[in-house]
C-alpha cells in the first residue's frame, strides 16, 4: 500500500504512513488536496462518494480529492487523480491551503492540511470510476450554498470549508480587478476632468478651480458611466467626456454640501470652503456647474444627456433641501428652515431623501453610459434600477461609517451627522425606533441642542450602540446591493457585468 505524507502545521513533510493509520482515531496530520472544477456557467462539478468509502460514504463531495505522494506537487497529483476518477484532466491552480480535523462516527477521522485546487472543464464527456464515485452533477454555486445551509449533513466537511475558501478568494480577486480598473481609469479620466474645468478660466485661477478634484476620490461615478457603456459594447472614447462631467457634477454637490454642513475635512484634506473661504468656494461651484454642461455637449446625444443632467441636478437639490430640513436643530437665522423642519422623520422620508440626494446621481451615471452605447429601452431600465439600488446601498454605508467608521479610513470626521444634528441617517433612525422612552429622549435632546460637543457625540454613539441599529443598517445595505446585482441579470454576461456586481458588493463593505 502506498504511504501518504505526514506533515507538521506548516505543511513540512516529517514522514510517511499508511492511509489506514492516518485515518484512525483522531487521525495523524497529513497532506491532501481538494479539487473544485467549474464550467463557464459558474456551475461546480460535485461527486457523490462511493458506498465503499470508509469515511463519509455516499456524501456529496467536491469534484475530486486525494493525497499527493512523495515527490509529486499538489497540481500534478491533482491532475492525475482527476484522470483516474473522471477520465479527463485539466490544468489546476493552487489558490489556498487549510487545516482541519473532522471525525466520522466512530470509524475514523480526516486530519489534513488540504490544498485547494481549482480548474475549468466545459466538455460533456465525463466517465466517472464507479469504484470511487456513486454519482455526479453540475450545480450552480449559489444553489449549492443554499443547500449546504439547509442540509449540511449531506456534504463532506472539506467541501464546505473549501467552498468558503474559494468564495473568499474569488471575492478578493474581484476586488483586485475592480481596484486595478479604477486605478487605470483614474489616470485616463483625470486629465479630461481638469481640461473641462479650466477651459476658458484665467491661468491665475486654474489651480484654485482644480483643488476640489485634486483632493482625490474613488472616481466611482465616472467609472459607472464607462463600465455601463462598455457593458453594452460601447467605446471608451465615446464616454470619456460625459463620465468626466458626472465626476464634476458629484464634486459640485460636495462643494455645496461642505458649505451647508460647515465640514472642514473631506478625504482627509481641507474642504474647498475651509481652504479658500465660502465666497470663493461658491464661485468655484459656478465653474463646476458650467463645466458639467460643457462635458454633456461633447457627446453623441448632447440634448438627451443635457436634459437628463439638468433633471438630475434639480432632484439632487431637492434631496439636499430635505437633508437640511431633517436637521433637528441649528440654522436659527433661517426662518424657512425653522418653519418647515421635520420634528419626526419616518423611514419613508429617509428613503425619499436618500433617493434624491444620492441614488439619482448613481442612476444617471449608469443611464448615460447606456445612452452612449446606444442601449435599448429594456437595457436602460435595468441600468437605471442597478444605479438606483447601488446609490441607496452606498448612502446607507455612508450613514454607518459616520457613526461606526474609523477616521483614518473614512477620511471624514466620525460623528459628523450627530454634530450637525442630522435626522436623515438610517442608523440614528433605527436607534430611535428601538431605544426605550428614556434613552430615546436623551438621544433626541442631544440632537436638538444648539451646540454639540465631543462629549455629546460620545454619549449619542453610546446610546446608539445599545441598539441593533448597526446590524439592521448593514443588512439593509446588503439588501439593496443584492437588488442592484439582480438588475444585471438581463444584461450581457461579460467582465463589465462582473465589475458592476463587484461594485454592488463593495458599496456595503467599504470602509471609506
Whole-number pLDDT of residue 32? 97
Closest C-alpha among 289, 261, 290, 291 to residue 273: 261
Q: Looking at 156-276, list the stretches that DSSP marks H as alpha helix, in order from N- to C-terminal side.
A: 157-198, 203-214, 220-231, 240-261, 272-276
Beta strand extents in 26-81 (DSSP E only): 30-38, 43-49, 60-61, 64-66
What is the tens place of the pLDDT at every residue in 388-401? 999 999 999 999 99
Q: Model confidence at 267, in pLDDT bands (50, 70, 90)?
A: confident
pLDDT (mean) for 214-227: 94
Phi, psi (degrees; rounded to nearest 5) at 217: 115, 160
Q: Is 17 helix (H, G, I), strand (E, B) or coil?
A: strand
Q: How far apart are CA 221 and CA 366, in angstroms?
A: 9
Distances 305 to 18, 102, 308 between C-alpha atoms, Å: 71, 60, 5
pTM as predicted: 0.85
Whole-number pLDDT of residue 262? 86
Let me know: does 353 contact 323? Beta carbons within 8 Å. Answer: yes
Q: At what angle do helices 302-325 and 240-261 cross, to 10 degrees?
A: 20
- pLDDT above 70 (res 410): no
The alpha carbon dihedral of 358, 362, 368, 374 has a sign of negative
Where does residue 480 rank: exposed (0-12), middle (13-18), buried (19+ CB within 10 A)? buried
CATH superfamily of 3-155: Nucleoside Triphosphate Pyrophosphohydrolase (3.90.79.10)
Whole-number pLDDT of residue 512? 61
Domain spans of the chain, in order of start: 3-155
The dihedral region occupied by 15, where left means phi > 0, alpha psi between -120 and 50, and beta the remainder, is: left
What is the tens place of the pLDDT at every residue in 139-148? 999 899 999 9
Q: Model confidence at 125, in pLDDT bands (50, 70, 90)?
A: confident
Q: How far apart are CA 21 and CA 5, in angstroms?
A: 12
Distances 281 to 50, 254, 287, 333 between C-alpha atoms, Å: 73, 11, 10, 21
pLDDT (mean) for 157-173: 95
Cα end-to-end distance, the chain, whole Å: 57
Phi, psi (degrees; rounded to nearest 5) at 65: -155, 155
Amino acid at each position: 500500500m502506498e504511504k501518504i505524507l505526514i506533515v507538521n502545521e506548516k505543511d513540512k513533510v516529517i514522514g510517511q504512513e499508511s492511509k489506514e493509520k492516518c485515518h484512525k482515531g483522531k487521525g495523524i496530520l497529513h497532506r491532501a488536496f481538494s479539487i473544485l472544477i467549474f464550467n463557464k456557467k459558474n456551475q461546480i462539478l460535485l461527486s457523490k462518494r462511493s458506498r465503499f468509502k470508509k469515511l463519509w460514504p455516499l456524501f456529496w463531495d467536491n469534484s475530486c480529492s486525494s493525497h499527493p505522494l512523495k515527490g509529486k506537487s499538489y497540481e500534478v497529483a491533482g491532475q492525475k487523480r482527476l484522470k483516474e476518477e473522471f477520465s479527463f484532466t485539466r490544468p489546476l491552480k493552487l489558490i489556498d491551503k487549510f487545516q482541519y480535523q473532522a471525525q466520522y462516527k466512530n470509524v475514523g477521522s480526516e486530519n489534513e492540511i488540504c490544498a485547494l485546487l481549482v480548474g475549468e472543464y466545459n466538455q460533456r464527456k465525463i466517465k466517472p470510476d464507479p469504484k470511487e464515485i456513486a454519482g455526479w452533477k453540475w450545480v450552480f454555486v449559489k444553489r449549492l450554498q443554499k443547500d449546504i445551509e439547509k442540509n449540511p449533513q449531506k456534504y463532506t466537511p472539506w467541501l464546505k470549508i473549501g467552498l468558503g475558501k474559494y468564495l473568499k478568494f474569488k471575492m478578493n480577486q474581484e476586488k483586485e480587478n475592480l481596484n486595478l480598473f479604477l486605478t487605470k481609469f483614474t489616470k485616463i479620466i483625470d486629465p479630461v476632468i481638469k481640461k473641462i474645468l479650466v477651459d476658458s478660466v484665467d491661468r491665475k485661477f486654474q489651480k484654485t478651480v482644480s483643488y476640489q478634484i485634486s483632493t482625490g476620490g474613488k472616481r466611482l461615478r465616472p467609472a459607472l458611466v464607462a463600465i455601463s457603456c462598455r457593458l453594452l459594447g460601447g467605446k471608451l472614447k465615446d464616454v470619456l467626456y460625459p463620465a468626466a462631467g458626472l465626476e464634476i457634477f458629484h464634486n459640485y454637490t460636495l462643494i455645496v454640501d461642505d458649505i451647508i454642513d460647515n465640514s472642514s475635512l473631506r478625504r482627509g484634506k481641507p474642504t474647498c470652503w475651509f481652504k479658500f473661504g465660502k465666497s470663493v468656494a461658491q464661485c468655484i461651484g459656478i465653474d463646476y456647474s458650467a463645466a458639467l454642461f460643457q462635458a454633456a455637449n461633447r457627446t453623441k446625444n448632447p440634448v438627451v444627456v443635457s436634459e437628463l443632467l439638468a433633471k438630475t441636478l434639480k432632484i439632487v437639490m431637492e434631496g439636499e433641501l430635505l437633508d437640511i430640513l431633517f436637521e433637528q436643530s441649528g440654522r436659527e437665522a433661517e426662518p424657512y428652515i425653522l418653519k418647515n423642519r421635520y420634528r419626526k422623520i419616518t423611514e419613508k422620508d429617509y428613503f425619499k431623501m436618500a433617493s434624491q440626494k444620492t441614488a439619482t446621481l448613481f442612476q444617471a451615471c449608469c443611464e448615460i453610459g447606456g445612452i452612449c452605447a446606444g442601449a435599448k429601452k429594456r437595457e436602460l431600465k435595468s441600468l437605471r434600477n442597478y444605479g438606483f439600488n447601488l446609490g441607496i446601498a452606498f448612502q446607507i454605508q455612508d450613514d454607518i461609517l459616520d457613526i461606526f467608521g474609523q477616521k483614518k479610513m473614512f477620511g471624514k470626521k466620525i460623528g459628523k451627522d450627530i454634530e450637525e444634528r442630522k435626522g436623515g441617517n438610517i442608523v440614528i433612525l433605527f436607534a430611535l425606533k428601538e431605544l426605550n422612552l428614556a434613552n430615546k429622549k436623551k438621544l433626541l435632546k442631544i440632537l436638538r441642542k444648539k451646540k454639540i460637543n465631543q462629549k455629546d457625540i460620545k454619549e449619542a454613539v453610546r446610546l446608539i450602540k445599545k441598539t441593533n441599529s448597526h446590524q439592521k443598517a448593514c443588512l439593509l445595505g446588503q439588501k439593496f446591493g443584492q437588488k442592484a446585482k439582480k438588475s444585471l441579470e438581463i444584461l450581457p454576461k461579460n467582465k463589465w457585468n462582473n465589475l458592476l456586481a463587484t461594485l454592488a458588493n463593495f458599496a456595503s463593505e467599504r470602509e471609506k
